[in-house]
A and B are shown apart, each in its own frame.
Chain A
C-alpha cells in the first residue's frame, strides 16, 4: 500500500513485459471462468441445525441478527440454485428444529411462528401441517400474549383445513386461558365458544359465552351485544354483563 502523500507508479512507467503479463493473466482468469461450467443444480436436504450454544458463539453475541438470518437460510431451501423445492419434499422434523433454534436465539421474534403457522403450515399434507401447528402450540405457552395470533391461526387451520375440531378446541382453549393481556382481541378468547358450537356442544358453548360476558374480559359494548345475540341464538336467556365497579 502506498504511504500517504506518495503516488503509486502509473502504468506507462511499468516495463512493457509486465503489461503483457497483466493482460495475459487477466485473459486467463476470464477464460477460466468462461469455460467453467457450474454443476447442474440439485436439491439438498435441510441439514439439522447446530446446537444453540454453537449458534450463540457463532453469532458473536448478536443472536437477534442470527435468528433472522437463520430464518432466511431456511427460507432459501425452498428455492435452491434454480430449483423450487416443494414443501412436501422437505424434512419437516428438521424444519421444526430450525424454527425452534431461531426462536431460541430471539424469543421475542414473531418470524419463526409466522413461518410455521402461515407459510410451512400451508403445505398440502396433513401430517406436516400438524407438525407445524404443534410447534406453534408448544411454543405459545412461553409468551402467550405475544404469540397468540399464531395459535389463533393454528386453531382456524385445524378447524377449516384439517377438520379436526377437538384439536382446534385445544388451541382455542389455550388462547382463552392463557392470552389474557388487554391487547389480545376478544374474538381470540371467544374462538373456543364458536368451535364448541361447530362441535354441536351447544351447552358448553352457552356456558362459555355466558362466562366470557360475566368475567368482564369483554368490555366493548358491540362485542357484548354480539355475544348476547349468540347466546340467545343458542337458546339461553341473555346473560347480564358485569356491573361497573
Chain B
C-alpha cells in the first residue's frame, strides 16, 4: 500500500482542524459576537447626537476585531493542547509523517478557519462602509488573524499549557497593537531624558523590530473616513507573509527538538 503524500496528509490535517472548529461551535460563537456587536452599535446609535453611523461603525469595527482575535487565539491554543492531551499528536507522529507536515497542516487549517470571521465581519462592515473599504478592512483582518493564529500556534507548541499560552498570545497582541504608540510616548516631549528612559526606549526599539506593527492593520478609519487604498494592503500582506513564516519556522524548530 502506498503511503499518502505529504501535501495530502497536510490537507487531511487541515480538514480535520476545520471539522474540529465546527464541532466546537466556533461559527456559533462568531455569530454571537457579531449579533452582540450589532446590538451594542444599534443601542449606542440611539444615544448619539451626531455621527451616529460613524459611532456604530467605530464600535462595531473595534469589537469585532477584538472578538475575532480572541476566538481564533483561544481556538488555536485549546485545539493544539487538547490534541496533545489526547495523545493525538503522538499517534500522528508515530505514522511515517514528517513533523513539518503535521505543523503546516495545522497552520493551514487555522488559516482556513480565519477566513470565517474575516468574511463574516467583513460582510457586516459592508453595511456601514463602501464595498472597497469594507473589503480592504476584511482582507486586513484576515492577515491579522493569520498572524495571531501563527503566534498562538507557537505558544501552544512551546509552552504546552493553556493559561501561559493564552496569556502570551494576549500580551503579544496588545504589544503589537501598541508598540508604535509606546515608542512615540517614550520619545515624545513629555518623556524624561534620563539613562533609565534611554534604556527603556532602546528596549522598546528592540521589541518593535521583532513585532508586526498591527496598528497599521485593519484601520477603523477606512470604514469611517474611506481613507484606505489597495496600496495599504501591500505592506500588510508582506508583513503577514514574513511573520507567519517566522512563527512557523520557530514552532517547527521547537517541535523537532521535542522528545515525544
Contacts and interface: CB of A to CB of B under 8 A. Distances in A.
B178 A60 contact: yes
Nearest to A4: B23
B58 A108 contact: no
Interface string A58-70: 0011101101110
Interface residues of A, number: 24
Interface string A1-32: 00111000000000000000000000000000
A110 B62 CA distance: 20
Contacts of A60: 62, 66, 174, 177-178
B61 interface: yes
B49 A65 contact: no
A72 B58 CA distance: 13
Contacts of A114: 49-50
B47 interface: yes
A8 to B, nearest CB: 14
Interface stretch (B93-101, B126-134, B218-226): B218-226
B24 interface: yes
A109 interface: yes
A4 B58 contact: no
Interface in A62-113: 62, 64-65, 67-69, 71-72, 75, 108-111
Given A53-B190, A60-B178, A65 B51 contact: no
A73 to B, nearest CB: 10
Interface string B198-231: 0000000000000000110000110011000000
Contacts of B82: 3
Given A60-B66, A60-B174, A60-B178, A68 B58 contact: yes
A113 B152 CA distance: 43
A111 B51 contact: yes
B44 A56 contact: no
Given A68-B48, A110-B50, A111-B51, A62 B58 contact: yes
A68 B174 contact: no
Interface residues of B, number: 32
A67 B44 CA distance: 13
Contacts of B250: none
Nearest to B227: A108
Contacts of A3: 82
A74 to B, nearest CB: 11
Contacts of A61: 177-178, 181, 214-215
A115 B188 CA distance: 30
B10 to A, nearest CB: 22
A49 to B, nearest CB: 16
A152 to B, nearest CB: 16
A108 B215 CA distance: 18
A109 B178 contact: no
B20 A4 contact: yes
Interface in A41-66: 53, 56-57, 60-62, 64-65
Contacts of B62: 60, 62, 65
Given A62-B61, A115-B49, 5 more contacts: A53-B188, A57-B178, A64-B58, A68-B48, A68-B54
Interface of A: 3-5, 53, 56-57, 60-62, 64-65, 67-69, 71-72, 75, 108-111, 114-115, 119
